[in-house]
Amino acid sequence: MRARLALAVSHQTCELREVVLSRKPAELRQASAKATVPVLVDTDGRVLDESLDIMLWALQRHDSLCWLPVQGNQADAMHLIKRCDHEFKPQLDRYKYPNQFEIADPGTPRFGGAGFIFDLEQHLTRARYLSGAHWSLADAAIAPFVRQFAHTNSAWFASQPWPKVQTWLANFEASPLFQSVMTKHPPWQPGQAQTLVFD
């Protein structure tokens, strides 16, 4: 989702190819050996298969809402995003899919993920958004994963003492941008007409 958020705000016209991961088309495997989503193939043939790289690619082309952090906040924003990707995301995966990871008690990775949420709460106590006064790269890169964490057990998440995070997430989910990137598309089939998005 976070790659789509950045592509949308940067108004990059893209051909969207929605895929079902249980039926990966050969074209996906040909584009990226990882065969995971998202994958962006640029017009020059360059392949980006990490969502954060796609976000930066899009925003460096056209940062219409000033999401890229200013120089003074750049290191802090990237550090927080890397913590999300390398510390929080593994706990999230284990919390959402305990059987896949042979986790006997899903409460264990949930507890591990909660530590990162508490850190976000502290950030949001100091400012309305993770990098200051307006929504930016850090918010867009992290919010989709917090959303997954929240919806794994919504009642539990709502009962926790992190009101700033809960409000921040609710505002994200209510935003027109979020609604626009959540539009469902049928799975791509070879030979079908192009589906152009984010123009």
Q: For 71-178, CATH number? A: 1.20.1050.10
Query: In sequence order, which residues have a C-beta less than 8 Å from that of residue 69 and are 6 or more positions away?
Result: 76, 77, 78, 131, 136, 137, 138
pLDDT at residue number 182:
94
**Same fold for the pair 2-65+182-197 and 71-178:** no
| Closest CA relative to residue 135, chosen from 60, 68, 55, 56 | 68
Which residue ranges in the chain fall short of pLDDT 70?
71-72
pLDDT at residue number 72:
62
pLDDT at residue number 71:
65
153 half-sphere exposure, CB direction, 13 A CA radius: 15
What does the pLDDT look like over 137-177, one tens digit per residue? Answer: 999 999 999 999 999 999 999 999 999 999 999 999 999 99
Cα separation, 116 vs 124, whole angstroms: 12
Listed by start position, the domains of the chain span 2-65+182-197, 71-178
pLDDT at residue number 97:
92
Whole-structure pTM value? 0.94
User: Domain 2-65+182-197, what fold?
Assistant: Glutaredoxin (3.40.30)
